[in-house]
Amino acid sequence: MLAELKGLNEECGLFAIFGHERAAELTYYGLHALQHRGQQGAGIVTSNGKQLSIHKGVGLVRSVFEQQHLSSLKGTSAIGHVRYAAEQDSGFENVQPLLFRSQISSMALAHNGEIVNAFALRSQLEAQGSILQTTSDTEIIAHLIKRGGYLPLEEAIKQALVMVKGAYAFVLLTEEQLYIALDPYGLRPLSIGKIDDAYVVASETCAFDLVGAKYVREVHPGELLIIDKHGLKSTMFASPMQRALCSMEYVYFSRPDSNLNGLNVHASRKLMGKQLAKEAGVEADIVTGVPDSSISAAIGYAEESGIPYELGLIKNRYIGRTFIEPSQSSREEGVKMKLSSVRGIVNGKRVVMIDDSIVRGTTSMRIVRLLKEAGATEVHVRIASPPIKHPCFYGVDTTVKEDLIAAQYSIDEMAKEIGADSLAFLSVEGLEKSLVHEDSNEVGICKACFTGRYPTEIYPKEIYVSEKEQEHE
């Protein structure tokens, strides 16, 4: 769970509201609830019906916004964003929402996901004279919309979205309207709620709970919603495909108190843990989970196996992401400051250690070591998702196959690498079984990083570059 140890990319978080007196304040609270989805930057744009106001900055929501900023964000509609940035694009210019002012009408955009044909679109736009100021996909969408400026905005947005391939949930605010769209496969989560007469939209329903909004429904794949003083209008910009919601949302990203596509995240993780116990039982004295995201699965594993759940690992809540690890040699101390094993509990015990996933294997390796140093006689690692063997092209920064330990080694070899006495993963079928509605309908998930079967066409940058090179030969 210690994403901060690894510098991997996470999701971003979106929040929007239309028609509420306290739009900026509620967006601020909503972003707090979504803070786990990105800690590198936060921003809010509001509209008072005549003009848009913006405040954004690098860092956590609580450090970007002070009372005076919220007071300056006037109006009854707002969009907000929290972002996790890859190292190379962590600058202020990439913090969202992006605001484009013009004499006729301004627009602000925020998005979560990744456009798989961004490289091609960017090259195309630049060839046609657009000057792009950021490395963000959001700006590409904005330019594509602006290119259709002769059309009514709804049509210009639809025309732009048809060109964009990949995973995206996006919100766009003008002086008078709020637009919301989700990619045709619904790879990213996005829900609609209501607070009084105002509509709210959020990446996760935990944001609704915090602002006191009632959940209404999911945004449908391929849907464009337009909210204005006349109410909410739903249109489609693409034929909806079989939903392929990122399964890592259930496994790792989302908060346990959120419901995604009708399934509670904690309950889903518990089922994954139970299923894992059925598939990969082992004789042991205690089960422990890596805080926080693996706790639900560990409880499920314990319940199913009958092995007691214990608090073998504790996370220090006060170590921020900015914690300095000055040299490689002090990295181990860094891990210990973020996570401790509880000697009094694990000493002399055979431990089943549950984690939600393995990406590069560094977390598991360090935690096995911590548990053994605390006296665990055996450490059996059980992972509540299948091995990640394929890169993600949809906004999760696991794009380099060479970094994925499961793409390089067999399970036995991995167990040796991380120092575990045994290692097992949840099967793909087990994951699918854990993600079904009460009426037995599947939720429709993307499993591409486990199976290599991508729901959309993919356009790896290298392929595009080599095609271009061939064209020039």
Peptide bond into 291 cis (omega under 30): no
- Residue among 3, 5, 12, 280 flagged as catalytic: 12
Conformational region of residue 94, where left means phi above 0, alpha means psi within -120 to 50, and beta covers everything else: alpha
Choose the contact partner of 394 out of ligand AMP, ligand SF4, none; CB within 5 to 8 A by kind.
ligand SF4
Tally the C-alpha atoms within 13 A of residue 350's C-alpha that lie toward its C-beta.
8
Nearest to 134 by CA among 162, 169, 109: 109
> Binding to ligand SF4 by residue 116, rule CB under 6 A?
no
Q: How far apart are CA 122 and CA 145, in angstroms?
A: 13
Cis status of the peptide bond prior to 292, with omega within 30 of 0: yes
Residues in 173-202 that interact with ligand AMP by CB under 6 A: none
Using rule CB under 6 A, residue 396 touches ligand SF4: yes
| Residue 446 makes contact with ligand SF4 by CB under 6 A | yes
The Cα 249–Cα 236 span in angstroms is 24
248 binds ligand SF4 (CB under 6 A): yes
H or E stretch including 202?
strand 198-202
Taking the complex as a whole, how short is the minimal distance between the CB of residue 453 and ligand SF4, in angstroms? Answer: 10
- Residues 65 and 55: beta-carbon distance below 8 Å: yes
Quote the least distance from Cβ 251 to ligand AMP, whole Å. Answer: 7
Cβ neighbours for 124, distance < 8 A, ≥ 6 positions apart = none
Q: Is 361 in the site for ligand AMP (CB under 6 A)?
A: yes
CB of residue 408 to ligand SF4, shortest distance in Å: 18
What x/- string results for residues 10 through 39 when contact with ligand AMP is judged by CB under 6 A?
Answer: x-----------------------------
Report the residue number, 247 or 305, with the smaller CB distance to ligand SF4: 247
Confirm or deny that 196 is annotated as ligand binding: no
Kindly tell me which residue out of 218, 223, 249, 355 binds ligand AMP, with binding defined by CB under 6 A: 355
CA distance 148 to 6: 41
> Any binding-site annotation on 446?
yes
By the rule CB under 6 A, 141 interacts with ligand SF4? no
Does 26 help bind ligand SF4 (rule: CB under 6 A)? no
Quick one: which of 28, 168, 237, 252 contacts ligand AMP (CB under 6 A)? 252
Strands of 205-325 (E only): list them. 214-218, 223-228, 231-236, 245-246, 259-260, 263-264, 286-289, 313-315
The answer to whether 206 is a known ligand-binding residue is no
Picked from ligand SF4, ligand AMP, none, the partner binding residue 446 (CB below 5 to 8 A depending on kind) is ligand SF4
Q: Whose structure tokens read 């013009």?
A: 102
206 is catalytic: no
For ligand AMP, the binding residue among 293, 296, 341, 456 (CB under 6 A) is 293
The C-alpha R_g of the chain, in whole angstroms, comes to 23
User: Does the footprint of ligand AMP cover residue 290 (CB under 6 A)?
Assistant: yes
Q: Which of residues 388-417 bind ligand AMP (CB under 6 A)?
A: 396, 398
Start-to-end C-alpha separation, the chain: 47
* Short-list 358, 463, 379, 365, CA closest to 8: 358
- Minimum distance from residue 120 beta carbon to ligand SF4 (Å): 20
Enter the tokens of residue 265. Answer: 């995240």
Residue 239 and residue 67: Cα distance in Å, rounded? 43
Question: Where does this chain touch ligand AMP (CB under 6 A) — which range of 1-9, 32-40, 175-183, 369-377?
Answer: 1-9
Residue 394 interacts with ligand SF4 (CB under 6 A)?
yes
Q: Which of 95, 358, 415, 431 binds ligand AMP (CB under 6 A)?
A: 358
- 121 vs 143: CA distance, rounded Å: 10
> Which residue ranges make up the annotated binding site for [4Fe-4S] cluster?
246, 392, 446, 449
List residues near ligand SF4 by CB under 6 A: 187, 246-248, 392, 394, 396, 446-449
> Which residue ranges make up the annotated binding site for Mg(2+)?
293, 355-356
List residues near ligand AMP by CB under 6 A: 1, 3, 6, 8-10, 252, 290, 293, 355-364, 396, 398
Q: Among all residues, which ones are annotated catalytic? A: 12
